[in-house]
Amino acid sequence: MLVDRYPHQQLPTVNEQRDKMIKACIFDLDGVIVDTAHYHFVAWQRLARELGITFTEKENERLKGVSRMRSLEIILEIGGIELSEEEKEKLALRKNGWFVEYINAIKPEEVFSGVPELLQSIRSKGIKVGLASSSKNADTVLRLLGIGNMFDAIVDGTMIVNTKPNPEIFLLAARKLGVVPSDCVVFEDAEAGVEAAIAAGMKCVGVGLPGQLSTANEVIRNTADFQLADLEKF
């Protein structure tokens, strides 16, 4: 007699197996889709220089993903400078003016090579694609790159109260995409972003150099290096 070693009730049904699959990929913008992270750094460094503060690329890692005001506060902390809220507002505006000036020259070809194709192939598998950027300039960047229609949902810095490392932005993106957090993978180049994704209960692919972003589930050098087959690992 044939012995059923794997009784049906112990085997996952097709639906249960599907439930284990990743249903959405959520991308950060600056440094993941396009090199605007560099423009943020150049603008902050220009401001720091005016304030007589030495601000290095290494210190800039702390600014990635966090809000404009928090970024300014980190620079002021580095320089040991204390300012009133009003003065800080003025400086943050000044930096943003330079940043907007830099990004206004962005051309569609500046999107990281291979990224539009990656977004398309994710979507062609029936997996949703979202964007979650702390930036209040995300709309402008997406318009200049002409890639806004490649996302099923977009959340930016104008729609949230708490920026990364708080998980709010990713939880809102998941809600807009109609998926639960545990079915999402986040692509992030910022330590604060990786922390936010993990706090949201999501998986995270870090985009950075080996040795960086060590709490991410996987680290790749460039966003387009991501292999779709890896989604099954998560």
Q: Which is nearer to Mg ion, 59 or 180 (CB)?
A: 59
152 binds Mg ion (CB under 5 A): no
Crossing angle between the packed helical segments 85-103 and 36-50, to the nearest 10 degrees: 140
* Known catalytic residue at 4: no
The answer to whether 195 contacts Mg ion (rule: CB under 5 A) is no
Residue corresponding to tokens 């980190």:
74
- Does residue 137 contact residue 144 with C-beta atoms inside 8 Å? no
Q: Residue 64 Cβ, how far from Mg ion at the closest point, in Å?
A: 5
Q: Give the span between the Cα atoms of 28 and 7, in whole angstroms.
A: 44
Contacts to Mg ion from residues 5-44, by CB under 5 A: 28, 30-31
Assess 166 for contact with ligand BG6 (CB under 6 A).
no
Q: What are phi and psi of 165, to 5 degrees?
A: -80, 5
> CA-CA distance, 44 to 222, in Å (whole number)?
24
Do 220 and 115 touch, CB atoms closer than 8 A? no
> Which residue stretch of 10-18, 29-37, 51-59, 221-229 sits at the interface with ligand BG6 (rule: CB under 6 A)?
29-37
CB-wise, 140 or 217, nearer to ligand BG6?
140
35 is catalytic: no
Mask for 31-70, x = binds ligand BG6 (CB under 6 A): ------x--x----------------------xxxxxx--
Find the angle CA(203)-CA(159)-CA(193) to the nearest 5 degrees. 30
Q: Which residues contact 120 (CB under 8 A, 6 or more apart)?
A: 150
- Contact between 210 and 203 under an 8 Å Cβ cutoff? The reply is no
What is the smallest separation between the CB atom of 55 and Mg ion, expressed in angstroms?
A: 18
What is the number of other CB atoms lying within 10 angstroms of the CB of residue 72? 22
Q: Helix or strand or coil: residue 218?
A: strand
Residue 137, contacted partner among ligand BG6, Mg ion, none, CB below 5-8 A by kind: ligand BG6
Residue showing the smallest CB distance to Mg ion in the complex: 31
Q: Which two tokens stand for residue 37?
A: 């992270």
Give the contact letters, 196-215, x = binds to ligand BG6 (CB under 6 A), - = no.
--------------------
Catalytic hit among 28, 156, 183, 189: 28
Contact call for residues 67 and 86 (beta carbons, < 8 A):
no
Minimum separation from the CB atom of position 10 to ligand BG6 (A): 46
Which stretches of the chain bind Mg ion, using CB under 5 A? 28, 30-31, 189-190
Binding site for ligand BG6 (CB under 6 A): 29-30, 37, 40, 63-68, 71, 96, 133-137, 157, 190
